Structure 1
Amino acid sequence: MEERYEPIKDLGSGNFGVARLAKDKKTGELVAVKYIQRGKKIDENVQREIINHRSLRHPNIIRFKEVFLTPTHLAIVLEYAAGGELFGRICTAGRFSEDEARFFFQQLISGVSYCHSMQICHRDLKLENTLLDGNPAPRLKICDFGFSKSALLHSQPKSTVGTPAYIAPEVLSRKEYDGKIADVWSCGVTLYVMLVGAYPFEDPEDPRDFRKTIGRIMSVQYSIPDYVRLSSECRHLLTCIFVANPAKRITIPEIKQHTWFLKNLPREIIEADRRINEESGKEEPPSQSVEEIMCIVKEARKPYPGLKLDSEDAEVKEGLNVTEDSKKPLSSLT
Structure 2
Amino acid sequence: MEKYEVVRDIGSGNSGVARLMRNKETKELVAMKYIPRGEKIDEKVAREIINHRSLRHPNIIRFKEVGFGSSSRLLRQLICGVCYCHFMQICHRDLKMENTLLDGSPAPRLKICDFGYSKSSVLHSRPKSTVGSPAYIAPEVLSQREYDGKMADVWSCGVTLYVMLVGAYPFEDPDDKKNFRKTIERIRSVQYKIPEYVHISQDCRHLLSRIFVANPAKRITITEIRGHPWFLKNLPRELTEAAQAAYRNKDDNMPTYSLQSVADITQIVREARVPPSSAFDAGFSWPDDEEEPQEGKQE
Report if TM-score (shorter chain) is over 0.5: yes
Quote the Cα distance in structure 1 between the aligned partners of 2:229 and 2:68: 14
Distance 1:213-1:312 versus aligned 2 partners, 3 A rule: farther
Match of 1:279 among 247, 250, 256: 250
What do the CA deviations read for 1:55-96 (whole angstroms, capped 9, x no partner)? xxxxxxxxxxxxxxxxxxxxxxxxxxxxxxxxx9667996x9
* 1:296 lines up with 2:268 in the alignment: yes
What does residue 19 of structure 2 align with?
none
* 1:113 lines up with 2:83 in the alignment: yes
TM-score normalized with structure 1 length: 0.62
Quote the Cα distance in structure 1 between the aligned partners of 2:217 and 2:154: 12
Match of 1:258 among 218, 228, 234: 228
Matches within 5 A, 1:126-137: 126-137=96-107
Match of 1:184 among 154, 159, 171: 154
Shift of 1:120: 0.4
Matches within 5 A, 1:31-50: none
Shift of 1:105: 0.7
Structure with the bigger RCO (C-alpha within 8 Å, sep 6+) is: 1
Partner-residue secondary structure (3-state), 1:250: coil
Measured on the aligned residues, the alpha-carbon RMSD in Å equals 2.6
Quote the Cα distance in structure 2 between the aligned partners of 1:313 and 1:113: 44
Distance 1:307-1:283 versus aligned 2 partners, 3 A rule: same
Partner-residue secondary structure (3-state), 1:141: strand
Partner-residue secondary structure (3-state), 2:123: coil
Shift of 1:268: 1.7
Quote the Cα distance in structure 2 between the aligned partners of 1:97 and 1:202: 25
Partner-residue secondary structure (3-state), 1:281: helix
Quote the Cα distance in structure 2 between the aligned partners of 1:149 and 1:187: 17
* 1:147 lines up with 2:147 in the alignment: no
What do the CA deviations read for 1:141-161 (whole angstroms, capped 9, x no partner)? 001111001000223211111
Shift of 1:304: 2.9
Question: Which amino acid is 1:218 matched to?
Answer: R
* 1:305 lines up with 2:270 in the alignment: no
Quote the Cα distance in structure 1 between the aligned partners of 2:116 and 2:205: 32
Using the aligned pairs only, state the percent identity: 64
- Aligned residue pairs total 225
Quote the Cα distance in structure 1 between the aligned partners of 2:146 and 2:179: 26
Match of 1:169 among 126, 129, 139: 139
Distance 1:300-1:195 versus aligned 2 partners, 3 A rule: same
Quote the Cα distance in structure 1 between the aligned partners of 2:233 and 2:40: 23
Quote the Cα distance in structure 2 between the aligned partners of 1:162 and 1:197: 20
Partner-residue secondary structure (3-state), 2:101: strand
Partner-residue secondary structure (3-state), 2:230: helix
Shift of 1:303: 2.4
Question: Which amino acid is 1:130 matched to?
Answer: T
Structure 2: which 5+ runs fail to align? 1-34, 42-65, 290-299
Whether the 8 Å contact between 2:173 and 2:183 is mirrored in structure 1 is yes
What does residue 195 of structure 1 align with?
165
Shift of 1:255: 0.3
What does residue 228 of structure 1 align with?
198
What does residue 215 of structure 1 align with?
185
Whether the 8 Å contact between 1:97 and 1:195 is mirrored in structure 2 is no
Matches within 5 A, 1:80-99: 97-99=67-69
TM-score normalized with structure 2 length: 0.69
